[in-house]
Amino acid sequence: MEISKPSIDEGAAFDFGRTSEVYAKYRDIYPACMFERLSELGIGITGQRVLDLGTGTGVLPRGMYHYGARWTGTDISENQIAQARRLSEGKSIEYLVCSAEEMNFADDSFNVVTAAQCFWYFEPGIVVPKIRRFLKPDGVFLKIYMSYVKEEPITHDSNSLVRKINGNWSGGNPAIADLKTHYFDDPQTEIIEADLPFTRETWHGRMLSSRGVLAAMNEEQIRQFDMEHRQMLEEKYPEHFKVRHKIFLTSYRITKP
């Protein structure tokens, strides 16, 4: 399903459902240290019920599953949810196809609500009151944003190619703006840095599955990106390398009267 917001990519439409197969293959890249830190913060642990908004292929519920919480993931894309269900086979994770704006759960249903790599796509005027209503008293809302460090040569080269072909792409700017915007009181923010391993193929897949490429480009543009990006990687970068990422964890404790 296409999404379009004036604040993202100059209003150009994108659809992560078009990326689903590639996303499922190449975007399970959250490091184990992030999942461990969330459990240390008391998020996603045994005895909790957790709602993951914009779950995509279920990366967060699957990565946190063994810590014991009961997870429900929602996403606007039927294709993304289909991949989430396939990858979650054998795990008791509930997935629902619906937008964050249309979700409907009983009051005080969840101990934690999470939104990883997605909150800037939502309409906060609709979604924020729902989060407050769905959370139990003293529940937690957690936003996650993970980004590669754009100053590294390989990220600079890849981003430049995306922008050459898709001039509307605004990269991580919407996410950075969201980091500075708080809809609940007393934000608690932690930053984790990690060097994540890639091959030329897995980095190419990671870039293909981004909002600026498969989600937005037409077939001719995708062919151009695929050819030029592979050629650039072959000519300039080794088969195995690491890319530094920053992970921003922003959590809010929601008090109720």
pLDDT tens-digit profile of 180-218?
Answer: 999 999 999 999 999 999 999 999 999 999 999 999 999
- Please report whether residue 2 resides in a domain: no
pLDDT of amino acid 40: 98
Paired with 241 in beta bridges are 198
On the 0-12 / 13-18 / 19+ scale of CB atoms within 10 A, 14 is: buried
Query: What is the residue type of 162?
Result: V
In DSSP notation, 97-140 reads E--TTT----TT-EEEEEEES-GGGS-HHHHHHHHHHHEEEEEE
What is the Cα Rg of the chain in Å? 18
pLDDT of amino acid 1: 84
Joined together, the tokens standing for residue 165 give 């072909």
pLDDT of amino acid 256: 82
CA end-to-end span of the chain, whole Å? 38
- Please report whether residue 210 resides in a domain: no
The mean per-residue pLDDT over the stretch 117-133 comes to: 97
- Please report whether residue 127 resides in a domain: yes
- Please report whether residue 65 resides in a domain: yes
Name the maximum alpha-carbon separation found in the chain: 61
The mean per-residue pLDDT over the stretch 135-162 comes to: 97
CB atoms under 10 Å from CB of 231, counted, come to 10
Phi first, then psi: give them for residue 247, nearest 5 degrees: -120, 120
Report the distance separating Cα 256 and Cα 253, nearest Å: 10
Report the distance separating Cα 132 and Cα 191, nearest Å: 25
Instruction: Give me the domain span that covers residue 73.
Output: 11-147+172-197+246-254
> Has residue 126 got a pLDDT over 80?
yes
How many domains does the chain contain in total? 1
Average pLDDT, the chain: 97
- Please report whether residue 81 resides in a domain: yes
Q: Cβ(226)–Cβ(14) under 8 Å? A: no
Joined together, the tokens standing for residue 115 give 């939104």
CATH number at residue 31: 3.40.50.150
- Please report whether residue 138 resides in a domain: yes
Q: 40 by DSSP, 3-state: which?
A: helix
> Has residue 97 got a pLDDT over 80?
yes
Instruction: Quickly tell me which residue has 């309409």 as its tokens.
Output: 123
> Has residue 251 got a pLDDT over 90?
yes
Whole-model pTM? 0.96
Q: Cβ(247)–Cβ(34) under 8 Å? A: yes
The mean per-residue pLDDT over the stretch 2-15 comes to: 96
Instruction: Quickly tell me which residue has 């990671």 as its tokens.
Output: 206
**CA–CA distance from 126 to each of 56, 104, 192 (Å)?**
20, 12, 30
> Has residue 257 got a pLDDT over 90?
no
- Please report whether residue 164 resides in a domain: no
- Please report whether residue 123 resides in a domain: yes
